[in-house]
Amino acid sequence: MTLNLNWGILLEESATGDGPYWTLLATGLQWTLATALTGWVIALLVGSIVGVLRTLPYRPLALLGDIYVEVFRNIPLLVQLFFWFFVWPEVVPQEIGRWMKQDMPYPEFITAALGLGWFTAARVAEQVKSGILSLPRGQKNAALALGFSLPQTYRLVILPQAFRVVIPPLTSEFMNIFKNSAAALAIGLTELTFQMKQMVEYSNEVIVSIAAVTTIYMTLAFAVNRGMAWLEKKARVPGMIGGGR
């Protein structure tokens, strides 16, 4: 069986009137990058805070962090996006809901970035907690004995080492956030997978469309992997996990 692949379709004018088909994929890539990177910043900030909370000696705060992780980690991302985009505007006060539905700029992008960030933050929190607990307990006790407050101990002693330890597992989460961004097509964000669907519908070149998008995702994953590997090499701590001698 011989496949007749028309790669030239990428250069042909799209039926949407937005230029050649490759420009649709380029536009989708821009939204994918914007959504994934914004979501990653949110995930790192929220996940780091939640991860720290789960290691504190104050049970109510630790419990709050545990609840966050269990809720956001165990509800599928697609369900969460549907909730934030379709349900939440109906739950909040009417004026706020009306603004979210009618006047909020780029509602699909903002919802996707926030939803993706909060979902990934639960996984980042697990990694941060593991990194903190992997450190010798004596370091924390020594810092407190030297007169450091608990916030100072975390900021100056524990977290700088913990983040270096968890770079390898964070690499996987960083790669996943690009792949998970494809779920945003369900709420209408014109990211890469959405544009692939458009290209398939208008050009009928199913294999070419999927192959082109697959290549883009693989290139993104490789770039992220190499970038994080470089960061891991620069930040590794001798004697720690993966740190060598």
List the pLDDT tens digit at each of the 245 positions of the chain.
456 677 887 888 877 777 888 898 999 999 999 999 999 999 999 999 999 999 998 999 999 999 999 999 999 999 999 999 999 999 999 999 899 888 899 999 999 999 999 999 999 999 999 999 988 888 888 888 888 888 889 888 899 888 888 888 888 899 899 999 999 999 989 899 999 888 888 888 888 889 999 999 999 989 988 888 888 787 766 655 444 33
Q: How far is CA 226 from the centre of its chain?
A: 17
Domain boundaries, the chain: 21-235
Q: CA-to-CA distance for 126 and 47, rounded, in angstroms?
A: 8
**Two tokens at 159?**
């977290």
Q: How far is CA 95 from the centre of its chain?
A: 30
Amino acid in the structure at residue 217: Y
DSSP state of 92: S
As to burial, measured by CB atoms within 10 angstroms (0-12 exposed, 13-18 middle, 19+ buried), residue 66 is middle
pTM of the predicted structure, to 2 decimals: 0.88
Q: CA-to-CA distance for 178 and 184, rounded, in angstroms?
A: 11
Q: CA-to-CA distance for 242 and 245, rounded, in angstroms?
A: 9
Q: CA-to-CA distance for 202 and 205, rounded, in angstroms?
A: 8
As to burial, measured by CB atoms within 10 angstroms (0-12 exposed, 13-18 middle, 19+ buried), residue 97 is middle
3 state SS of 46: helix
According to CATH, what is the number of the domain 21-235?
A: 1.10.3720.10
Strand partners, 20: 13
